[in-house]
Structure formats: structure tokens, C-alpha cells
Structure 1
Amino acid sequence: MLFTRKTPPGGYEIEKEGNLDILRINYEGNLRVPSIENDPSCMAFTVDKLVEVPSASRIIFHQRRNYTYDFNQVQLLVEVANFYNHLIKQKKLFLARGDDPFLSNIKSLVLTLLKSDPLGAFVEIKRLLREEKINLKKETRSAVAAAMQARINVLQNIYSSLEKIRLIIMARPYLDGYTIGDRSVYKKFFRPMISPDFMFTKLMGRIPLHADEMDAYKIDKNTEVKIFTIPGNLKYLYHLTPPEFKLSEDQYELLDLAKNVLAEHKPTEEEFIDPDRMRQTFYNIGTDLIQELSEHKNIGLSLREIKELANILVRYTVGFGLIEVLLKDKKVQDITINGPIGQTPIFLVHQDFDDCLTNIYPAREDGDGWATKFRLLSGRPLDEANPVLDTELIVPGAKARVAIIGNPLNPWGLGYAFRRHRDKPWTLPLFMNNNMLSPLAAGLISFLVDGSRTMLVAGTRSSGKTSLLGSVLVEIMKKYRLITLEDTLELPTEALRNLGYNIQPMKVRSALSLAGKGETGSAEGIRTSLRMGDSSLIVGEIRSSIRGNEKVVIIEKGETKRIPIKDLENKDINDIHVPVLDFNLKTKLVKLTGFVKHPKRKKLLRVKTRTGREVTVTPDHSLFTSHNFRVYPIECKDLKTGSKIVLPSKLPSGYNNIEYFNLLDLIQDARVENFEEPIKKVISNIGWKKATAICNIKCGDIYNFYRRNQKTNMPIESFNNLMQFTSIEPKLEELNIKNGTSNTLKALFPVNNDFCRFLGYFISEGYFSESSIKISNNNKNIVSDIISLSRAIFDVKPHVRETKGLGKSKQIVISNSPLVKLFKKLGCGRTSKEKRIPSFIFGLSNPKIFSFLSGLYAGDGNFTSSESSGNAIRYYTTSFDLADDLMYLLLHVGIVARLAKKKSSGLSNNPIYVVEFKNREFVKKFLDNVDFVKYSPEIVEKSASHSNLNTASYDIKDLEKHLKLTRDYRHLRKYSSCGKDFLKRITSDKNTQSDDFIKTFANGEFYLDEVKEIEEINLEEGEYVYDLSVDHMQNFVGGTGGILLHNTEAKALYEAMRVGALANVVAGTIHGDSPYGVFDRVVNDLEVPKTSFKATDIIVVANPIKSPDGLHRWRRITQITEVRKHWQDDPLREKGFVDLMRYDGKQDYIVPTDDLLNGDSDILKGIAGNVKEWIGDWDAVWDNILLRAKIKETIVSYANKSKNLDLLEAESVIESNDMFHRISDSVRSEVGSLDNKRIYQEWEEWFRRYVREKKGGT
């Protein structure tokens, strides 16, 4: 280890790692191996260092190897060191007479044994204390007894402090029969991670206690892997023992010296252009250097050992350390390294054991070094402006795709994800052997490839999409030229080139990064490919947004929140749902599947609507608009004043209709009344001493709460800790919450209509002090209702007094300190400008929401009606956030309101925000459900208005395509729009014979607003912009008042599909779990025209199948679907998707559908139409598919019977495909048709010879 300054043996350095202090100790020259658990002198030495550096979070001993003790282990000794430091400062203890044998013994225990064996010191102190107490009982002389009592007090103080130390607490079960000097107990708590001094990565060498071995194998001759199950952890432990951890001390020394020499040479950027050559250069230098050093040190090494040491040296200089070793394991599929690097192990996905944790802990230095190397290897940036880097890693024996994230996207620094790829291409027989697809599915895919069809391989992440696409490449005849297009090279192009393919890979810019050095965008890459002649085009995976402070609606664990979208960064989204507009144009809650942070943008657009809503987005971000009874996305740069904007007209409600609050969870700084019975159960369960310790009572004990002369209620925090520790479930209905002498609240607090109405009164007319809620109003009905609610809900008779400010008013004062704390916790706000609607209200049932609105509108709401202006319901507030909350809350009960801002006409300069709605249906719904205490409103029946809001535009031919205009509605031919409410009435009239399409639109839960203003925002410094991802629907709700937002994606893949006619085959991958999911993603997300989607012929869906226990998953092909061309709008509704094969869960296999068996396939008929022998002959087509399936099945059978799995690899499969085509051509020339039986016989004869030759060759 190279210390930053000259640190002598026994000295130390403190290294800062974020907020952590790392204590590095130079242990060179010490004859003992640094082992806290085995060596008493090492433990004593460590305690001394921790007295000097009590802030240490990790300790690393350097002595040839690095011995690292992590935070949890260090903290066990920090407590010992702190107590030792406290004791040695006790002057009375150490300045006493030296001839006192008792004090001499105590000094020995404190100064020596406590540091080297704290468990032994504890046991010895306990023994001495017991003996002194026994002797005291026998002693009759008062003077001697007093001295003995003084000694007992000293021992008791030390003993009481020691038994609180965590190491002692954890070791108590093992201390029966403990003898001083026994180190076996320490081995249970101290287990260092050991790594050679030439590497930073740490490896946990010891196997955890009680682990069971599940598997063991070798990656190569010197690298061992064992798989263990660990009690209490669902993940398996992948335990790696690499060759560098089996070296002798002399070999360690040689490697350390060699690395220090090579460290003086820093590879240049130019050297990284050819990493293979650079590795070879370092290997050659390392080989010579190790040989020279071994001769100089007189250390005998064989040639094999020199080469092994040179390979290790290359790994830890210009290589990637143990990452390379992991990637050599063919059973490893994915490797992830999370930030902050060094604090968590490496995780991986194993072929046989799924998700595993490893015994490898990379260091921060490793992460920084890898990032630098990947920047140079890829030529792509990785910095704050470009926090994402996609590239590939090729090391001897392995290839992987690498995704890296850094600051500010990852607040914990760097994070890595490696996706390992096979060295050889996947083939259809290989997938058959793994049960991913059936022989018939393989035969069908082979037939489709030869038929030059356009094909999409769809699936979720890690479903095998790219691997399956690689197997499609192998099925293409070698006579064709192949062009591949990817942003990160994952397809097996190099292997196929070596196998004789005419193949040209193209690498384009990643969509996740800004322009790299000379990198081309995906669209330009596709256009370039078309200029390169007649080719089969294979498109691999090629990976816009709202402003960060724009709020979006999320439901997290049932609680409705509106938070700035940027706050979702690094948030666990597993328990988050969002409201969306589904395919039936109804709103519902769906799981949030992704959060996206895009590069900084300087140009933004603020879109404002006539209902007062607004949102700030990038020009290329889409909102939703409507025409001809369709809802579709429109980029904001294409909007103009008057454009239609889709809003949700209804948000879900009742999804979190809580009946009670548990105030023990909501309020902390108060006390519990009637706690006695559950606490008695606790004491009976764990004893009064343990209960006292858990409550952290410094004076007295747990019975303090029971003594009559000083009885007090128990703090909520202590009560909760005791309940949690003992798992006792108290009867909440018997408990009350109290604060000092305050009035009480029920611990199980009802959330009913009455409480919701009271809360509405408070939001409009109330505020709180430290101990009371105050609500002012001059309406006697409202005052009377508030008094009644106070008595019914809180059991408090309020004080009512008259106030004089701007006018006379009644002030109702409810004295209840816990109630104030509850209102603070709920986020109600104290003053009028701070007021908010509590988040739990949004998820309640409609009756409770309307009860809340009754109280709210009784305060600052009003109702007006007149013949001229109609009906209007308004709410006034000085809080913008409250007005915005109310706009959203009204949507939960199906009311779309408008938001306006007015100047105050009173003494205050604060603006007034007005939430208003006039629509007759909305007003009627509100008045039917809300009790307007201060009004007896009557609705004025007024003819329908001619407002442009919520009107649907159409072309008359489209209108009449979906319904019949009867006499009552023929006037609509004169117009190009009508109100959505009127359209709903028309479609419900049976005489119009309206079809389902227009009925779905008319009854859709959306509202058609209009753009009022578009403001361009130009920023000097760009801002990051963000997006959310929701499977299938791909929309979410956000902005002021609630606007339906859309997310966007690149169109590169479908540009390739659209020009597929110019190529022999076009194939690509896309995320999607079903054919309709692919359609929705392509048309709605990628905004590809529906007519272009028809360029897709076949969709192959690959998805993982999970076991019932959720612990295992297997990759399967679940659908092979053809896309027909007759449909116009929706391929699912118009039967444009026809499954040719579908997964059968009982058989765990993909099986043919009746459509395929009966030959009802437009795509297969289209292929047949281009082959003379197959025109109009479905049996001939079907026989050819079966022939291909039989050939694939025979390959798998021969490979397994001969135990030669190389027959499944690309080289053999390509030879087989070529021979199949040659034999087919020969038979057709000879007999004039494709005789499938003869083709198979001749092919099988050839394959037998091929297998024998392969066996003889090996």
C-alpha cells in the first residue's frame, strides 16, 4: 500500500471517503498477522488507535494483504475504546494507594484486559462483583463492610457500563463457561475482508455461518465458485476464490513490486484505441519484469507461474480486476455494482440460481479507475452533463454490454451494470435445448426468415430479445449481405464474420448521451445503410420531457402526492402508481414502471389553457389532442392558440378509503393514556429491566409510570418501541393520546364524514396555536355545526367568543394539543396562505370527499345563479397551492373547474385565486352531494351554452361513419364540432345506431380544453428535463390543475421497418410484452404512423415465466403473431393480430393455434405466393415448416445423444442450414418439386457423417 505520506510501521493515516473516516494502519514489520478476532495484542492495538480516532468508520490493516474491518465491526470496538478512555480519566481510581490489591486488580483489568479481551474483562468484573457481595453478607465489622461496599460500588459502575456495550450484549448468549484467552466468540463478530495489497477490491474469504453449499464448479483451473444459501436471505451467495487469493507470500511480493513499476506508465488515449494490443504489450512487459524480479529476489518460479502472475498483473493495471474473472463464468448473465461503491457487494444474475450476492466488495478507487478506462475505450463522455454512458467491454474469454451512471443522475457516485454476452452466437437449436422454444417454433421462424419477412422480437428486460435476434441472424443464408445497426455492439457480428458472413456492423450514438466524438444518430445510420446496396438490415436496441419543478400526481403506498417530477429521481418506484387514461378512455391507477432523466435543455415552452391550467415542457414533448373522435399525442411545438388539449375529467377515488388514523404512528411528541395493561404484558414478557432499557429511562425504572405519587403517562415513542420489540398488539380503541394536561384524542381516530367536514371548515376558516384550533365564522348554522362536531369527534366543549376585526364574528376555540399536532402532521397549514388539502383526502370515497367540500365551501365558497349568466360555484383563497389542490380534488369527484387569478380589493395586496365551474352537470352533481349550509341554492335551467370548451371537432364524413344522423341531429352537418356532453346524448339515442368507437369517445373520462397562450422560455443555463414511463398507456397527469402528459422516444427502429421493402430481411428488437403492447409503444410512444406499423409482418414475443414462489424464472417464447394489413385504426379491435403460436402454461411450451394449423395466415400465404411450387398449396408450405422443425429437432437430439453440445453452436447450425438449402435445390432440380421426405433423408445422411467427422476431429 502506498501511503500518501511517510507512515512508519505501527502508524496510521486517516482518509476521507465522502463523510466517512477510513483508518489505514501500516502493519508492515509486525511478526503477527493483523487479526482482531484471533490476536489479543492486535485488538488492544486497535482499541488504542480508536481512542485517538473515535470517528473511524472502517479500518484497513496493510501487511502484504489488506485486512478490512467494516463499519459495523469497527463500531463494536469504538464503544469499547470510548469506555476505556472514560475509565482512564477517573483520577480516584488510578491515584489511589498502590498497595491496595483490589485497585491493582481493577487497574490491570482496565488498562490491559479490557483492550485485549473485553469479554474476559466483563466476565472477570462479574466474578469479582459476585464474590464481593457474598463476602459483604458474611462481614460483621462495620468499617470493613463500608470498605467492601465502596469496592462493590466501583465494580457495579464498571459492570453496568460494560453490559450496555453492544459487543457484550451480542456475546452474552456465548459467555457461559467463558475463559479468559478464548478467542472463539470474537470470531462470530469480527470477520475481515482480505485482498492482496496490489488491488483495491476486497473479497470476503470466509463462508458465512450456517450457510449450505448448493453447487461448486471451476471457471478455469485456478478459479473456484461455490454457491451457498444463507439463512434469512432469499439471494444465494456466489462465493468466488480467484487465483490471486491463492498466491504465496513471495508471489504477492513480486506482484506488488511489479505493479509499482508498471504504475509509472500511464496508457495514453491512443493506446486505448487498440485495447487488445495494449493488453498484450503489458503482458509481455509483465512477464519479463516478473522473471527479472524473481531472479533478483531468488524466488523460484515455473514458466506457468510466471504467465499466471503476468495475467493477474494485466488485470490490475490496464484491465478490470475481478470483473474480468466474473465475466469468464459462462453461467453469469448480469453483474451490477451499486453506489456508493465499496459499501455493498457486487450482485449478479446466475444462469441456475437467478439473483445472487457475491463475496466481492469493489473499492471506490476501482470504480473511478473503471470509469476513466471506459471513457477512453468508448470515446464517449461521462460527466455531469452526460451522466449516462453505454458501451461494451471485450476481455479475454468474455464480452459484455456496460451501462454506467454517474452524478448527478446517481447521487451516490458511480453505478455499473454489465450484461454478459456469449462468445458464440445463439442459435435456434440452443434455445430449443433450453426449452425456450419448440421445434415447430424454430421451423416457423426459419421459414419466415427465408421468406424475407420483417420481424420484431419483443419482450421485457432480460427476456432474451437480443440473443433471439442473434439466432435470427444465423438463419439468414450466407450468400446475403448483412448490415447491423446498434448503439452498443451486442449482436455477434465478429463471430459471424469469422464464420464467413458478408456482414457490416454500424454503431450509432446512444439516445441516452449527447453527441459523442464523430458519432452518428440512429436515423442517419439507417439512411446510410440503405445507400450500401441490397442487404438484410438488422436493427438492435437503440435507446423528450417536462421541467423538473413541474408537479406530477403519484400514489405512493396509498397516499396521493403531487411532487416535482425531479424529486422522483433515485426514489424507489416499486410502490408508486399514477393515474392514466387507458385504451377505453377511462382513468385508472397503474404501476409506474420507469423514471427518465434527459440531458439539459435551454429552450422550454409554457403552455396555458383557457381553464387556467399550465405546464412547462420541452418543444418536442407531447400533450394530447383530439379530432374525429380520436385522442392522440401532439408535440407542443405544433400547438397553437385554440388547439384542443385533453384533460382528465375524472380521477380515481376510493383507492385509499381509510376508516381510522392510528395516532400512535402519526404523532410522536405526546403521551399515551391507559397504557397500563399492554405495558404489564411487556414486563411479563421481557422483564422490567429490559423494558426500562428500551425506554432509555436514566432515573428510576419502568415503574415510574405506575407510582401514585408521580404517575405520568408514557411517551408514545417508548410505548411504540416496547410494542415493536415484543410484537404485542395493543387494543388501540382503549388508548388515548394526551399532551401534559391537555384534552385527549382517541388513539384509533375515526376518519368519517363528520371529521372530513370539520377539516373542510378548518381549511377555509381556521388556524391553530400551540394548544388549540380556532375557527371563525358569523353564520349561526355553521357555528352550531362546528360546536356539535367538536363534541362528537373530540369530546370537547369549545369556547365561543365574539371577535371584532373587519366585522363581528364568532370564534370557536377547541383546546386540544394532540389535535394541533395531528393537523400539523396532516399538512393542513397554519395560516390562510399556507393552507393545503391533506393528501389522504384525495384517496377517500366520494361521500367523504363531498363531506370535506361541504365544510370547505361553507367557509370561502359561494353559489350564484341568474337567468343571464347561469349557475356558478366558486371558491376563493389567497393560497395558490390550495387552489391547485382543489382543482385536482374536484377531478376526483368528476368536476372540471377553472382557475383564475384576481387582484385583491381589500387591504391586502395578496392576489385572490378563484376556482370556478359553471357546467350544469357539474353544478348539479355538486349541489346533490354537498350541503351548502349558508345557502338554499336553486339551479337556473338555462339552454346549453355555445362555449368552445369541451367540444369535439370532426369532419362530417367521419361523424356519419360512426352513427346515423336522425332528423333531430341533422343540423350537425352544418358544423364541424359539438359539445362532448351533447355528443354523449346523441350516442345514447338508439335511433342513431352509434358504433362502439364513437360511444367510447363520447363516454370517455376526459375533457377538451383549449390552448390560451404559449410562452417560449429561453434559459442561459440549461436545465435537466424528466419523463415518466408507464407500461402500455404511456401517459400521466401533472402540471397546474391536471393535464394529461405523454412521454416520447426515438423512432429509429421503425424507420428501418418502413424501408424494409428495400432489404431482404428487416428485423429488430423492441420493449413490449404483447403484440398490442408493441403497437401501443410504436404508435403512441414512438409516434410512428399506423400505416407504417403495418410494415411489420411478424412479432415474436419473449417473456420470462416465473415459478409460483417467485424465486425462479425461465425464458420462453410466448407468442408468434402476424400483423395483418386490413385494419384501419386499432389492430386488436379489428382483428389485425393473429397468433400463429401461443405459450401453453400446462405444457410449458409454445404450441400452434388453429389459425396456423388451418393455414389461415396472410403472411405465410404471401411467402407461398412468391414460390412457384407453393402457390395455392398450403400443405406444401406446412410440410416445409415441419421439415425445418424436424431438422432442428434432429440436431438437438444428436447433440444430446453424442454429448457433443458443440453441434448446437453457430458453426454447425450454419453448415446444416447451408446443406439443407443445397439439398433442397438439388432435389427440386432432379424431381421437379421439393420432396420433403427425400430432402430429410439426404440431409440426415450428411449430418451423420458430419457428426462422425466432428467426433473424429476431436
Structure 2
Amino acid sequence: MVIHASLPYDEQVFLWTPEGGFGFYDIGDIVENERAAHAVSFDPKTLRVRTHRVSDHIRNPTKRIFRVTLESGREVLVTRDHNLFTLDERGGVARLPSEDAEGELVMVPDRLPEPHAPDTELDLVDLFGDDEDIVVYAADGLGDVDWSHVPTGSRRHYEQRGSAPLPAVGASKTPEDATVAFKQSDTKLPRHFEVTPEFGWVLGFYIAEGYGRRKQLVVNNRNDAHLDRFASFFESRGVSISEHVREDGIRDVTVCSALWSKLVRTLCGSGSEKNIPECAWNWSTDVLERLYEGLIDGDGSRRDSRDSLFTNNDALADRAMYLGARLGLVNSTYSRDRSYHIEPSDVDWEGTQHVVDFAEESHKRGQSVPIPTELLSGYRKRAEWTMAEAAEEMGYRSASSISNVENAEWNGVKRETLERFRDAYRDAGVDTARLDHILDGHVRFERVETVEETDRVEPTYDLEVQPNGRVIENFIGGKGGVFLSNTAGIVDPGYHGQITLELSNLGTAPVALSPGMRVSQLVFTEMKNPAERPYGVERGSKYQDQEGPQASRIGADPEFAAARAEAEAEMDAEDAKADAEDAKADAEADTDADAGADRTDETGGS
């Protein structure tokens, strides 16, 4: 959902960073450390979703936290005094106070962007870090090795084999063509391990149906085809497999390899906390499609209209919804209290089961749209149709079918109905660019189920997303992936200077401002004690004693210089290409909005 809000420290947001690419981060960590990042955001004019540079980091006052929950199971923790986003009568982006939002349709992402250059391999040396169980080998030698913590007898053993413990070598000194192994094991893998679609399926199946031990991976299932596929992946790589069939028909497949167990457990976890790897969001779509397939094959079901994943792990349900969005699938989740006997483990289990549903098109979730009444009536007038004529062109029996939509007799309209309107008006020569954005953009709409007060009262955080002055002002976070809009700025204790007032129009029609009109407010919060780190030179503050309006100066921060210049340049080049495409779409939207503003007061049938 799209929210004008502040978030608590530990609420996770989905961002792109130069160090880690796409991934999940605590918003408090991003703000407190002013980390460079690109937000995954929708453009208010085109409703396309892609990355936009975070232009500032905002610390907000301590406030009560509320939980906003949608019918799809998405939820986010925010402050109550901000807005959800919906559509206005002209099809523009409109704010909706959260306290008034229950039962209303608000924005959610329809899809997430792919990485510009997907990662095709894993650097196992970086992945394993300083793990003392890992040994590295190099045919041409390992160079300067720190043997200070390695016993003398062990050192001779390593040197005879052309190897050394990973911590003694370090990632920066390990040759690129090195191989890695688990200590006291002969199985080796190249430092740069290829990420293939089949590896993605193996990980998905393991997450859904397996568990890990120090030197083993175990999966169990009744489906022989799936188990054979899992075993074949490892057997083809020279790994020993053991199998056991129980009296009840459950078949266990055990991968007997400490190294492979270490790799899979490092990526996905080993027990009830297993989840989609954090680095997976930078993999290609074909790999993620196979990972999704493995999840459903492992612990899911397939029907004609949808797939379902079953899990006792709330965190996996959350990430699975993000995975669905990344693959362009409509998704929703719900939970239920269950108790049953787990046959593979021969234990009785009682707790909460989470179900995540996926569909290419759903007749229930994400199919309703707030009605842009004036946009639709403007299209009809440009087609020079009466309501009766419009009804006839669209195949409806009476003009009331058109009147009911234009007068918003219902709280929302089906997407297929809007497509029917669009097709008719487009065939009549009407420019339907804005309706195209609504129907073909990267957002959907879902109803707010509840807005509930929590017992949390704490500092809140926000991100400003206005790259190069563009009004984007949203990012993705929360359970299942929801759009969050940044709030007004904060004047920090110790600041001296003029305050920059920023105004933006997220709609598609102009808004007239006249002298004396109230356009902003200042809210004062009394501090009980002096600030421990007041704004100013000692803190490295960039806007002290400013005069007149100032654009963001975050680019002057030292961490933006050499270390991240290459990654930023690549991302900015892609942004520039997308900006050019957006500029063309913006021009179409502006033309559509100008025509929509020329409307009459007709609301009845003809």
C-alpha cells in the first residue's frame, strides 16, 4: 500500500544499495547511518515502478505506532497522522488519512523491478567470511598467509596440500581462481559458484521441505519425481546420496556433504527459520521462477486458478509475497491455527500456519480500482457520446450502467470494467493515456481491513525520495511489500537558517495557489533535555546557516565518492534512460489531465 508515513526503527524497507544491491534493510539503520540507497518507487504520473535515488534521511519525533492491515494480509507499522494513497476523481494520486481508510482501496505494488545486471554467481569466499571450517586451495599458491593462529602441525599439513584456513588468508588476498572446501573433506567448489535455475529450484525445495545438519542436508516427501530431481542435482556433482523409505511411504533423501550443507544453510538457514536467500533479489528472473517452483513443489499446491504455499514461518510468508511481486503474480496471505501430526518427523505440531496464494490474474485480490469519475465522464464527452450511446457501444443494456460508474455508486470498479470503458473510448479516438497508466502501470489497489493502535511509542524514521527535484516521494516496506510515502522534514535541535518549504502536486490537474492561502504548518515539540548531538559543524551537518531554498546535498557525503561512484554511475545511467521514457509518458499524462479538467456537471443518465 502507498502510505504517507513514518516508520519505527526495525520496520524493513526494500531498497537497492551500492554494496548489496536489492535487499531488505531496517529503515532506522539506513537513516541513522545515512546510507546511500535507491528506493523502489512508483512514479505518480505514470504509475511505473523502478528505482529512484534516496535524496535525504529523516529522523522524526517519538510517536505512537499503528498497524495498518489490508485484506490481502499485507501490513505495515506507521504513525497514524499520515496518509495512505489512492486515486482522485481525475485519476491522479490522492492522499487518504489512515484513520479514515478502513474499507477504502489503496495502492500496492503489482510488480518489482529486475536488477539491471543480475548476479550470475556467488563469491563463496565472501559468503563464508571468516568461517574457520572453510579451507581455500590455490594451484599457484595463496601468497601471504597469516599462520599465527594455526598450530605448527596443522600448518605443515595445509602447506603440503596447497591450502590454508579461510580466516588465515582473508577474502581480499584469496585468488580469484581458488577453490574452497570444508575442513577434512575432499569435496571442493570454485570460489565463483554459478547460480543456475536448477540451483534455484533445489534451494526452493529445501526451504519448503528440508532441514540442515552440520554435514548433511535432508529432504523428505512422498513425490518421487521431486525427490529424484533433488538427488540428481547433487549426484551429478559427485556428491554421495543416501535414501530411506519409511513404512508410511515417506522417503528421506540425505545429501552427505559438509560443504554443500554449509553453502545451503548459509544461504537459507537450517531449521524452522529457513527463508529465501537475502542475495536472491539480485538473481535473474529465470532463477527466481525455479526457486518459486521448488517452494510450491516442496510444500504447496497447484490449482487451475492459483498456487498456494503452506508454511509455519511468518518471515517466509512475507518474503514469498515479495517473490510473487517480483515475478508479477497477484498474491495474498492469511493464517490459521492448526494442529496436526508431522509424518516425516513423527511429532505432533500445534501453532499458526501461513498460507500464501499466487495467481497470474485473480478474481478476488487486486482487481478493484477506485473510480476516476471525472476522468471517465471527460472521456465520454470527448467521444461526444450520451450515456445511452456509451452503453450501447460497450454492450451494456442501459445508460444506468454508465451512470453508476461515473457517479461512483459503488466503492470501486472492477479492472475488467475499466478496460471495457477504455477500449470503447480508445476506438472512438479518445486519448486514454491516464487510464492506460492506471490499468497497465505497476500498481494495484487493495482494501484496508483495519488500522489498529499498538503499544509501541518510539522514534520514527523516513526517507526522502526526490532525485534531482523529481516528485517521487515513496518507497517499499512492510510485510508483503507496500508503498510508503515520505513525510515532511524535521528541523533538528541546534539548526540555524532558513527552512526550505517543498510543495508538490501528485495529481494530474493543476492546483491554483493564491496569496494568503494556508499551505503548510509548523509543529513544535518541547525537549526535556539538551540534544546530545545537536545539528551543526561537529556533526557534519550540511545545511547549517543556509539562506534561501536549497536542494539536497547528500551527494557531498564522503561515502558517495570513490567507493560507490561506479555503482552509482551505472544505476544513474539506467535511471536516465528510464527518465527519458517517463518524460514521454508524462507528456501524454499532462495532455490527458488538461482535457480532463475541461468537464461539465452532468451526472445523470441521458
Determine the structure 2 residue equivalent to 1:987. 422
Q: For the residues of structure 2 that align with 1:666 and 1:1051, how far apart are their CA atoms?
A: 39
Distance in 2 (CA, whole Å) between partners of 1:987 and 1:653 is 29
Of 475, 481, 500, 1:1070 maps to 500
Match of 1:731 in 2: 177
| Residue number among 808, 829, 838 corresponding to 2:269 in the alignment | 829
**What amino acid maps onto 2:242 in structure 1?**
H
1:862 to partner: Cα distance: 0.5
Answer 1 or 2: which has greater helix percent. 1
Q: Per chain length, whose mean CA-contact separation is higher, i.e. which structure has more relative contact order (CA < 8 Å, sep 6+)?
A: 2
- Residues 640-694 of structure 1 show CA distances to partners (whole Å, capped at 9, x for unaligned) of 3211110011111234521111212212324446424233xx3xxxxxxxx4656
Aligned CA RMSD, in angstroms, stands at 3.7
Superposition pairs of residues 657-1056 of structure 1, within 5 angstroms: 657-667=118-128, 668-672=131-135, 674-679=137-142, 682=143, 691=144, 699=152, 705-707=158-160, 711=161, 713-720=163-170, 724=173, 729-732=175-178, 735-741=179-185, 743-792=187-236, 794-803=237-246, 807-826=248-267, 828-831=268-271, 833-865=272-304, 871-906=305-340, 907-918=348-359, 921-922=360-361, 945=363, 947=364, 949-954=366-371, 956-962=373-379, 964=383, 965=390, 967-968=393-394, 971-975=401-405, 976=408, 977-984=412-419, 986-987=421-422, 990-992=426-428, 993-1017=430-454, 1022-1031=457-466, 1032-1049=471-488
- 2:39 & 2:184 partners in 1: Cα distance? 42
Distance 2:479 2:260 in 1: 31
The alignment covers a number of residue pairs equal to 490
Map 1:346-357 to 2 at 5 A. none
Are 2:505 and 2:511, in contact at CA under 8 Å, matched by a contact in 1? no
Q: Which residue of 2 aligns with 1:17?
A: none
Where does residue 618 of structure 1 map in the other structure? 79
Cα distance between partner residues in 2 of 1:615 and 1:1038 = 7
Alpha-carbon contact 1:776-1:812 (below 8 Å) kept: yes
- 2-structure distance, mates of 1:816, 1:701: 22
Q: Could you report, residue by residue, the CA deviation over 1:1044-1087 in whole angstroms, capped at 9, with x for unpaired residues?
A: 111222799xxxxxxxxxxxxxxx9737xxxxxx6xx4335xx9
Q: Which residue of 1 aligns with 2:590?
A: 1133
Tell me by how many angstroms 1:1010 deviates.
0.4
State how 1:1080-1091 maps to structure 2 within 5 Å. 1081-1084=503-506, 1091=511
Rounded Cα–Cα distance in structure 1 between residues aligned with 2:477 and 2:377: 35
For 2:269, give the aligned amino acid: G
Q: Any residues of structure 2 matched to 1:543-692 within 5 Å, and which?
A: 545-556=6-17, 557-574=19-36, 576-582=37-43, 583-602=45-64, 604-628=65-89, 630-655=91-116, 657-667=118-128, 668-672=131-135, 674-679=137-142, 682=143, 691=144
TM-aligned CA deviation for residue 781 of structure 1: 0.8
What is the letter of the counterpart of residue 318 of structure 2? D
Q: Deviations over 1:410-441 (max 9, x none)?
A: xxxxxxxxxxxxxxxxxxxxxxxxxxxxxxxx
User: What does the per-residue CA deviation read over 1:432-487, in whole Å, with 9 as the maximum and x for residues that have no partner?
Assistant: xxxxxxxxxxxxxxxxxxxxxxxxxxxxxxxxxxxxxxxxxxxxxxxxxxxxxxxx
Alpha-carbon distance, 1:1134 to partner: 5.5
State the Cα distance separating 1:630 from its structure 2 match. Answer: 2.6
For 1:564, the aligned partner's letter is D
Letter in 1 for 2:214: E
Distance 1:1095 1:1003 in 2: 39
Q: CA deviation at 1:856?
A: 0.8
Relative to structure 1, the CA distance from residue 1048 to residue 664 in structure 2 (aligned partners, 3 Å threshold; closer, same or farther) is closer
- Once the two structures are superposed, residues 54-81 of structure 1 have per-residue CA deviations (whole angstroms, 9 ceiling, x without a partner) of xxxxxxxxxxxxxxxxxxxxxxxxxxxx
Contact 1:621 1:1047 in 2 (8 A): no
The 8 Å contact of residues 619 and 635 in structure 1, kept in 2 or not, is answered as no
* Cα deviation, residue 587, structure 1: 0.5
Question: Structure 2: which 5+ runs fail to align?
Answer: 341-347, 384-389, 492-497, 517-547, 563-585, 595-606
- Cα separation, 2, equivalents of 1:1134 and 1:1094: 24
- Written as runs of structure 1 = structure 2, the 5 A alignment for 1:274-423 is none
Tell me the CA shift for residue 716 of structure 1.
1.8
Q: Does the residue aligned with 1:642 lie in a helix, a strand or coil?
A: coil
**Structure 1 position 782, deviation (Å):** 0.6
> Relative to structure 1, is the Cα distance of residues 719 and 1050 closer, same or farther in structure 2, using a 3 angstrom cutoff?
closer
1:645/1:769 Cα in 2 relative to 1: closer, same or farther (>3 Å)? same
Q: Which runs of 5+ in 1 are unaligned?
A: 1-543, 683-690, 866-870, 924-944, 1053-1067, 1072-1077, 1112-1128, 1138-1258
The separation in 1 between residues aligned to 2:83 and 2:101, in whole angstroms, is 13
Q: Would the alpha carbon gap of residues 1033 and 1093 (structure 1) be closer, same or farther in structure 2, given more than 3 Å must change? A: farther
* Pairwise CA distance, 1:747: 2.4
Cα distance in 1, alignment partners of residues 373 and 111 from structure 2? 29
Q: 1: CA distance between counterparts of 2:26 and 2:100?
A: 24
Q: How does 1:67-82 map to 2 (within 5 A)?
A: none
Cα separation, 2, equivalents of 1:637 and 1:564: 23
The alpha-carbon distance between structure 1 residues 748 and 898, as it changes in their structure 2 partners (threshold 3 A), is same
Conserved 8 A contact 2:499-2:549: no
- What is aligned with 2:572? none
1:718 to partner: Cα distance: 2.6
Q: Deviations over 1:941-970 (max 9, x none)?
A: xxxx5x584322336443031354461255
Cα deviation, 1:309-354, whole Å, max 9, x if unaligned, reads: xxxxxxxxxxxxxxxxxxxxxxxxxxxxxxxxxxxxxxxxxxxxxx
Structure whose alpha-carbon radius of gyration is higher: 1
Q: Is residue 90–residue 373 contact of structure 2 (8 Å, CA) maintained in 1?
A: no
In the superposition, relative to structure 1, how do residues 1101 and 706 fare at CA in structure 2: closer, same or farther (>3 Å)? Answer: closer
Supply the distance in 2 between the matched residues of 1:638 and 1:762 (Cα, whole angstroms).
42
User: Which structure 2 residues correspond to residues 179-218 of structure 1 after superposition, within 5 A?
Assistant: none
Aligned counterpart, 1:298: none
Report sequence identity in percent.
20
Residue type at the aligned position of 1:760:
G
1 CA distance for matches of 2:232 and 2:291?
16
Measured after TM superposition, the shift of residue 579 of structure 1 is 0.7
Report the Cα distance in structure 2 between the residues aligned to 1:913 and 1:1104, rounded to whole angstroms.
43
- In structure 1, C-alpha distance between the alignment counterparts of 2:215 and 2:246, rounded to whole Å: 19
SS in 2 for 1:849: helix
Residue type at the aligned position of 2:158: F
Q: Closer, same or farther in 2 for the Cα pair 1:675/1:950, shift >3 Å? A: same
Q: What is the TM-score with the length of structure 2 in the denominator?
A: 0.72
Question: Residues 331 and 358 of structure 2 are in contact (CA less than 8 Å); yes or no, is this contact kept in structure 1?
Answer: yes
